[in-house]
Structure 1
């Protein structure tokens, strides 16, 4: 009541009113950048995490330590799915990923490192840090798994675009809030200039009024002599709608998805063109990533002589379709005699069978040249 009584007894010039804060600054929408990156990168990460890595020798799968590390437990703290998810996220977000093999046979994804580049010798990675531990010994290029994604770091490449989107989104939110807010005026009767202490108290009182209107569906204002509050306008719901804000966020995600090669229909869950989108996604986004991973694993895990002798690391489970989805096509391939059944099993991601019958070529259709067709009467 001391503040109100002071206000009632004083009159003042208007200059001090300009020091009062009657609103908030427009906030930066940093979460827009995180939303777009998380949506698109995690979409790819979840896909790659379903891969199966096979150690092959003469087209037969081999079981060894690498098979366990790549498919079951790469290290003591991560499952294979978690490991490959983080692997892809780091690769795309940081534009590179480094994996080291420790003396305890754990595969670890480096959080930071320093790379020393050489012209004719293998590059060396120093100060490799995983979580809070930094390895003192260096790691040469031929002893690590190292993949780059693009020519430029994705986040730095898109910073300018994200800033523009953030400014636009902030302004749209600001306009929407302004068009739906309740406005009022405060009248103060004072006879002299208010000192700094009284101004501070008055500012706190106005802040309470502002927060009351902003946070509560119902707010009461004391109507006292010398202090008047008049409501001058009510929000009528005009201006930017929620749909327009949603479209802006969707547009940002679309731009990121296009850069990464993800069809927009897939990332938004649109099933209208699902089959076409899946084919494009596998061919232009997942296929190149799988090829990069497979080439690096073959180069770093296998010796050159073993590779030339028929050893391979294959990545299965992503680019192949389910046999039930292509059953009709499988029947035609086998029936024409162009492929045997073991070759078709490999096409759909299954392992070859030891049954020698499946290595034979069979023809169940009457495929032959026109000159060999018999029938009719000879003249």
Structure 2
């Protein structure tokens, strides 16, 4: 028997109720896996929205057209939030993302829905069959004309699906066990004469079910059932009720495994605020920073030649805005950084979220008079003189 014949026999000959139950069971098994994956992707995508891609020319920060494309509007149909959410979702589901500019006349960036890659070992790859929003581009792209991102050698989502293929059966079994254990079961005894065939029994069962329906439904505030003298109703329901904690624990296992595979701390995924600062640091180190480095490195590779990059033309990603910090908690650290000339006034303004000052002095860096070269300090102490015998007995102490 061919595959089509089996499908017709096993599927199309079922009743409407059987088909609905079949799809419902598939949806229940699928939704838990998708929920865990989508929760992780949403957290990663939201963090990526806080990344500031900065553009530099001759080691000086500038805001040019590429800055606008990377941070405001990659193309005429998407803003940066929509763009990066689509990028992260495709990067994890497909393990690769192709970004192209359909026309050489502008620098708009579009994420390809589908494409074919002619990967060559020692020659540049070719990309053809590129589709954007269902529109097929009638051209082939060389490797240096596209931004091609590949997450890893192994497809993370595919591995999660393989894991869930076996573990999901335990979750489905726990759900079914919960339903069976908490179901109400009754036996009605009495002189009920009916034909002893399948059709007759089916009609009797349907009649009794319709009569008991209002009595059994939990949504009803109250219900009554008329039980005749010749009938006896016995409750065969399980006395020990199942706890939904078993289902919750199994789903937690799915969340933990998915979070570990996608490098999202499980505390962040579940909304646990205990040790939140350490969790965010781990999230940035093992999840966000590698993705940001993947994006910025690819843009630097494709946009700049080696001589241009070494001359100070590059794209740099700033991830410091991802972690929210109280301005009062940063005051001491910013004051120290400003005192040693590490940041300017406008740099401090940017860190705390205020507008920069349009003055030259606000972009300069200052150092307090408390700091000078250690060599000068030693020379100043030597010029003052001292007891040479004391100097031999103990080393010089330099006060900084």
Which SS does the other structure have where 2:115 is aligned? strand
Rounded to whole Å, the distance in 2 between the matches of 1:159 and 1:259 is 11
**2:95 match:** 95
Deviation at 1:126, TM superposition (A): 1.3
1:331 matched to 2:332: no
Gaps of 5+ in 1: 1-20
Give the stretch that moved more between structures: 147-156 or 317-326.
317-326
Question: Per the alignment, do residues 201 and 92 of structure 1 end up closer, same or farther by CA in structure 2, a change over 3 Å counting?
Answer: same
The residue that corresponds to 2:49 in the other structure is 49
Picking from 132, 137, 149, the partner of 1:130 is 132
Residue 116 of structure 2: SS of its match in structure 1?
strand
The C-alpha deviation readout for 1:335-359, integer Å capped at 9, x for no partner, is 4x4x54349949x869998539834
Task: State whether residues 97 and 148 of structure 2, in contact with CA within 8 Å, keep that contact through their aligned partners in structure 1.
Answer: yes
Residues 1-379 of structure 1 aligned to structure 2 (within 5 Å): 27=25, 28-103=28-103, 105-185=107-187, 189-190=192-193, 192-194=195-197, 196=199, 198=200, 201-202=203-204, 204-205=206-207, 208=210, 213=216, 216-217=219-220, 230-234=233-237, 236=239, 238-240=241-243, 242-318=244-320, 324=327, 325-335=329-339, 337=340, 339-342=341-344, 345=347, 354-355=360-361, 358-359=364-365, 361-364=367-370
**CA 1:171 to 1:310, structure 2 compared with 1: closer, same or farther past 3 Å?**
same
Change (3 A) 1:122 1:366: closer
Corresponding residue SS for 1:122: coil
Q: How far 1:177 moved relative to its partner?
A: 2.1
Count of residues in Structure 1 that have an aligned counterpart in Structure 2: 351
Question: CA shift at 1:208, angstroms?
Answer: 4.8
Distance 1:179 1:72 in 2: 55
- In 2, Cα distance between equivalents of 1:145 and 1:210: 65
| Contact 1:53–1:314 (Cα < 8 Å) also in 2 | yes
Query: Does structure 2 conserve the Cα–Cα contact (< 8 Å) formed by 1:340 and 1:362?
Result: no
CA distance in structure 2 between the aligned counterparts of 1:219 and 1:169, rounded to whole angstroms: 34
Name which of structure 1's ranges 228-237 and 111-120 shifts more when overlaid on structure 2.
228-237
- Out of 155-164 and 33-42, give the one that drifted further: 155-164
Q: Classify the secondary structure of the residue corresponding to 2:242.
A: coil
Secondary structure, in 3 states, of the residue corresponding to 1:30? helix
**Superposition RMSD in Å:** 3.8
Extract unaligned runs of 5+ from structure 2: 1-17, 388-400
Could you say which structure has the higher helix fraction? 2
For the Cα contact (< 8 Å) 1:143–1:300, is it kept in 2?
yes
The question of whether the paired residues in 1 share the 8 Å contact of 2:53 and 2:67 is answered with yes
Contact 2:156 2:262 in 1 (8 A): no
Q: TM-score, length-normalised on structure 1? A: 0.77
2:60, 2:229 → 1: CA distance? Answer: 93
Measure the CA separation in 2 of the matches of 1:214 and 1:320: 50
How far the C-alpha of 1:329 sits from its partner, in A, is 2.9
